[in-house]
Amino acid sequence: MNKVSSPPPTHLAASRAFPVSIGTHTLHLAIYGPARTSSTPLTIVFPGAGDVAYSWLPTARIVSATTPILLYDRSGLGLSDDPPPSSPVNAVTAATELKTALANAGLEPPYILCAHSYGAIVAREFLELHESDVAGIVLVDPSGERQSEYFKLPDENIVAVTGALRTTVVTGLRADTILTPLEWAERATLVRRGVDATMKEVGAFVEVCETLGRKRQLERRLLGTKPLSVIKANSKRDFERIYEKGVEVGNGTQEQQRGFRELLDSWDEADKVIKEGQLQLSSNARLIHLSDCGHYVHLVRPQVVADEIRWVSDNLAASGDFSRL
């Protein structure tokens, strides 16, 4: 069944916004920006776990001024339908469903993939399935195949120390986001609608990391010479703030607080391996390090994301890589 009867106001007019059938249910797609020519890549945004396309409106506002960008919700999230109960919830399924939706909507390659957090794993599974369709990639504080080696999801220590804290307030995200109060409320409504799907994505955490890892994309340098930008934010800062406030109000046992602290002490090394390691996907890659920005870059610094999409696009135009797709 449909999650909502119609989209909420977006404060940015989509040139096309519509549900697309993938056989068993529909995914909601929205395209912003100018009409495409045969060689114009379509940027596709892959939100993180439990996040929704609506979160990416600030980025779409900038990108759509010059190039088309597609925002979509995975099954069970945002404006997309719930999948059948028997449908597996993992990154390969999500990538396959997206390809079906693109084909059914007549949205042909080339594509630039822009993916955040868990969405990076979905995007890389899409790359695995449809390598020739992908012209370049922007990974925004991405999760990767080695994520489950360093982190647990959920982490009992983090859950206990966080308690009832309003994490968007404690981390500063609520104050720093460029969404208006109305937009923030609309986003929150859409996120809440996808709680069941979010829990299923979280539950598949180890599986999706191991599945991606077995494909050895980094060793194969799967993107070849196609442009890749990796934006590395300071997600540790978010959790430092949660830890400090949680300890201040007495959340968790001393053992749980100590476990959280030990994770934070090892965070930088893990972050480097997971995020910077993905630069190996391409010989034409660059790293943007935002030491002063938390995990949700697209909600706070969308211009940075838009600039990297532009860098990929300009790189393609200058090198003539469209001809190889």
pLDDT tens-digit series, residues 138-162:
999 999 999 999 999 899 999 999 9
**Token pair for residue 183?**
């937009």
- pTM of the model as a whole: 0.93
Q: Say how far apart CA 110 and CA 40 lie, in whole Å.
A: 7
**pLDDT exceeds cutoff 60 at 5:** no
- Average pLDDT (280-305) is 98
Share of the chain above pLDDT 90, in %: 89
Q: Please indicate, yes or no, if residue 3 is contained in any of the structural domains.
A: no
Q: Say how far apart CA 54 and CA 303 lie, in whole Å.
A: 16
Handedness of CA 127, 140, 313, 227 (dihedral sign): negative
- Average pLDDT (305-320) is 91
pLDDT tens-digit series, residues 231-243:
999 999 999 999 9
Q: Please indicate, yes or no, if residue 209 is contained in any of the structural domains.
A: yes
The whole-chain average pLDDT of the chain stands at 93
Q: For residue 85, what are the domain limits?
A: 16-318
Tell me the Ramachandran region of residue 106: left when phi exceeds 0, alpha when psi lies from -120 to 50, beta otherwise.
Answer: left
Residues 6+ apart with CB under 8 A from 242: 158, 161, 162, 165, 167, 170, 171
Q: Please indicate, yes or no, if residue 2 is contained in any of the structural domains.
A: no
pLDDT tens-digit series, residues 199-219:
999 999 999 999 999 999 999
In terms of Cβ atoms closer than 10 Å to its own Cβ (0-12, 13-18, 19+), residue 100 is: middle
Q: Please indicate, yes or no, if residue 323 is contained in any of the structural domains.
A: no
Q: Please indicate, yes or no, if residue 6 is contained in any of the structural domains.
A: no
**Token pair for residue 244?**
């400090």
> By the 8 A CB rule, do 27 and 102 touch?
no
* Domain CATH number, residue 180: 3.40.50.1820
pLDDT tens-digit series, residues 182-193:
999 999 999 999
**What pLDDT band is residue 303 in, cutting at 50, 70 and 90?**
very high
Q: Please indicate, yes or no, if residue 310 is contained in any of the structural domains.
A: yes
Amino acid identity at 314: D
pLDDT tens-digit series, residues 22-81:
999 999 999 999 988 877 999 999 999 999 999 999 999 999 999 999 999 999 999 999
Half-sphere exposure of 17 (CA within 13 A, CB side): 16
Q: DSSP letter string over 43-60?
A: EEEE--TT--GGGGHHHH
- Average pLDDT (285-291) is 98
Q: What is the pLDDT of residue 38?
A: 76
Q: What is the pLDDT of residue 194?
A: 95
> By the 8 A CB rule, do 135 and 41 touch?
yes
Q: Please indicate, yes or no, if residue 7 is contained in any of the structural domains.
A: no
Q: Please indicate, yes or no, if residue 1 is contained in any of the structural domains.
A: no
Q: How far apart are the first and last CA of the chain?
A: 37
Q: What is the count of structural domains for the chain?
A: 1
Tell me the sheet residues that pair with 116.
140
